Structure 1
Amino acid sequence: MGNPIRPNDGSKYLVETDYHGSGRSPLVFQRFYDSGSYYFHPVGQATLSQPSMGNFWRHTYQRRIIPIANSTHLLAYAQRDNGQIKAFNLAGEELLHYDGAQEQLEATATGWRYTTRQQSVENYDDSGKLLSVTDLAGFTHTLTYSDANTPASIAPHDGLLIQISHPFGRTLSLTYDEQGRLATLTDPANQVYQYDFSEELNNLEEITYPDNNRRSYQYEKLYTFPHALTGLVDENNATFARYDYDDEGRAILSEHAGGAGRVQMSYQANATTVVTDALMTERSYTFQTVNGMIKNASISQPCSSCGSSNTAATTYDALGFVDTKTDFNGNVTDYDYNSRGLQTQRIEAKNTPEQRTIQTDWHPTFRLPLEIRHYDAANILVKRTTMTYTASGQLESRTEEDPNTLESRTWTYSYYPSGVLQGLLQSVDGPRTDVTDVTTYEYYTSDDPGGNYRTGDLWKTTNALGQITEVLAYDAHGRALQIKDPNGVITQLSYHPRGWLLSRTEAFGTVDATTTTFTYDNVGQLDIITQPNGAWVDY
Structure 2
Amino acid sequence: MSYYIYKNNSSLWERTAQTDTQYFSLPLDVAVGDVIDFMVGDYYYFGNTPLHVTITTPETDPLLLATLGRQPWCHFFGDPVNVVNGNYTYDQTDLSIPTPGKPLQFTRFYNSRDTYAGPLGKGWQHNYNTFLTPNQDNSIAVYYPDGHTFVFTPGGEGYTRPPGCFETLDKNPDGTFTLTCKDQTKYLYNAEGKLARILDKNNNAITLQYDNTLLTAVTEPAGRSLQFTYDQDNHLTQITDPAGRTIVFTYENGNLATVQDLNGGITTYTYTSAGLAAITDPNGHTVAANTYDHQSRVIEQTDGKSNRTIFAYDPDNRKTTITDARGNTTTFYYDEKFRVTTIEHPDGTTNVYTYDDNHNQTSETDQNGHTTTYTYDPMGNQLTKTDPAPFNYVTTTTYDNQNNPTRIVDASGNAVDMTYDTDGNLQTVTRAVYGGVAITSFTYNDFGQVTSITNPNGKTTTITYDQYGNRESITDPLGNKTTYTYDILGRKLTETTPRGNVPGANPADFTWTYTYDENGNVLTVTDPLGHVTTNTYDLKGNRTSVTDPRNNTTTFTYDENDRLSALTNALNQTTTYTYDASGNLASVTDPKGRITTY
Give the TM-score category using the shorter length. 0.7 to 0.9
What secondary structure is seen at the aligned counterpart in 2 of 1:205? strand
In 2: Cα distance, 1:207 partner to 1:33 partner:
14
Shift of residue 230, structure 1, vs aligned partner: 1.0
| Stretch deviating more after TM superposition (490-499 or 293-302) | 293-302
Aligned partner of 1:207 among 259, 263, 266? 259
Give the match for residue 169 of structure 1: 223
2:366 counterpart of 1:357: no
Aligned partner of 1:89 among 147, 153, 161? 153
In 1: Cα distance, 2:294 partner to 2:538 partner:
38
Give the match for residue 450 of structure 1: none
2:333 counterpart of 1:322: no
Shift of residue 407, structure 1, vs aligned partner: 5.0
Answer whether contact 1:4 1:254 (CA < 8 A) is retained.
no
Answer whether contact 2:120 2:256 (CA < 8 A) is retained.
yes
2:321 counterpart of 1:267: no
**Residue by residue, what CA displacement relative to the aligned partner does 1:370-406 show, whole Å, maximum 9, x if unpaired?**
1111125xxxx2x21111111111111112336xx56
Task: State the one-letter code of the partner of 2:399.
Answer: W
Q: Kindly report which structure 2 residues correspond to 1:209-288, keeping only aligned pairs within 5 A, or say none.
A: 209-219=261-271, 221-222=272-273, 225=274, 228-260=275-307, 262-268=308-314, 269-288=316-335
Aligned partner of 1:467 among 466, 475, 480? 480
Give the match for residue 580 of structure 2: none
Give the number of aligned pairs: 465
Give the match for residue 340 of structure 2: 296
In 2: Cα distance, 1:406 partner to 1:341 partner:
36
Instruction: Say if 1:193 and 1:463 are closer, same or farther in 2 by CA, change over 3 A.
Output: same
In 2: Cα distance, 1:315 partner to 1:183 partner:
45
Aligned partner of 1:485 among 490, 497, 505? 497
Task: State the one-letter code of the partner of 1:300.
Answer: E
Aligned partner of 2:527 among 489, 492, 506? 506
Answer whether contact 1:93 1:103 (CA < 8 A) is retained.
no
Give the match for residue 495 of structure 1: 516
Shift of residue 178, structure 1, vs aligned partner: 0.5
Task: State the one-letter code of the partner of 2:498.
Answer: P
What secondary structure is seen at the aligned counterpart in 1 of 2:159? coil
What secondary structure is seen at the aligned counterpart in 2 of 1:188? coil
Give the match for residue 425 of structure 1: 450
Instruction: Say if 1:313 and 1:348 are closer, same or farther in 2 by CA, change over 3 A.
Output: same
Answer whether contact 1:396 1:413 (CA < 8 A) is retained.
yes
Instruction: Say if 1:332 and 1:423 are closer, same or farther in 2 by CA, change over 3 A.
Output: same
Answer whether contact 1:137 1:424 (CA < 8 A) is retained.
no
In 1: Cα distance, 2:108 partner to 2:379 partner:
30
Give the match for residue 375 of structure 2: 336
Give the match for residue 403 of structure 2: 367
Answer whether contact 2:99 2:221 (CA < 8 A) is retained.
no
Shift of residue 324, structure 1, vs aligned partner: 1.5
| Structure 1 length-normalised TM | 0.83
Shift of residue 54, structure 1, vs aligned partner: 0.4
Instruction: Extract unaligned runs of 5+ from structure 1.
Output: 40-49, 147-157, 304-308, 445-453
Instruction: Say if 1:357 and 1:184 are closer, same or farther in 2 by CA, change over 3 A.
Output: same
What secondary structure is seen at the aligned counterpart in 2 of 1:487? helix
In 1: Cα distance, 2:182 partner to 2:523 partner:
37
2:173 counterpart of 1:109: yes
Instruction: Say if 1:443 and 1:320 are closer, same or farther in 2 by CA, change over 3 A.
Output: closer
Instruction: Say if 1:79 and 1:406 are closer, same or farther in 2 by CA, change over 3 A.
Output: farther
Aligned partner of 2:193 among 128, 140, 147? 128
2:84 counterpart of 1:8: yes
Shift of residue 503, structure 1, vs aligned partner: 0.6
In 2: Cα distance, 1:537 partner to 1:32 partner:
36
Q: Kindly report which structure 2 residues correspond to 1:377-456, keeping only aligned pairs within 5 A, or say none.
A: 381=413, 383-401=414-432, 405=434, 407-417=436-446, 422-431=447-456, 433=457, 436-444=458-466, 454-456=467-469
Instruction: Say if 1:278 and 1:401 are closer, same or farther in 2 by CA, change over 3 A.
Output: farther
In 2: Cα distance, 1:280 partner to 1:410 partner:
55
Shift of residue 339, structure 1, vs aligned partner: 2.6
In 2: Cα distance, 1:479 partner to 1:410 partner:
34
What secondary structure is seen at the aligned counterpart in 1 of 2:305? helix
Q: Kindly report which structure 2 residues correspond to 1:45-194, keeping only aligned pairs within 5 A, or say none.
A: 50-68=117-135, 71=138, 74=139, 76-90=140-154, 91-97=158-164, 102-110=166-174, 111-146=176-211, 158-194=212-248
Task: State the one-letter code of the partner of 1:277.
Answer: D
In 2: Cα distance, 1:533 partner to 1:525 partner:
23
Task: State the one-letter code of the partner of 1:463.
Answer: D
Task: State the one-letter code of the partner of 1:28.
Answer: Q
- What percent identity do the matched residue pairs reach? 26
Answer whether contact 1:87 1:96 (CA < 8 A) is retained.
no
In 2: Cα distance, 1:122 partner to 1:515 partner:
45
**How large is the RMSD of aligned CA atoms in angstroms?**
1.7
Give the match for residue 536 of structure 1: 553
Task: State the one-letter code of the partner of 2:250.
Answer: D
Give the match for residue 20 of structure 1: 96
Task: State the one-letter code of the partner of 2:520.
Answer: G
Shift of residue 97, structure 1, vs aligned partner: 0.7
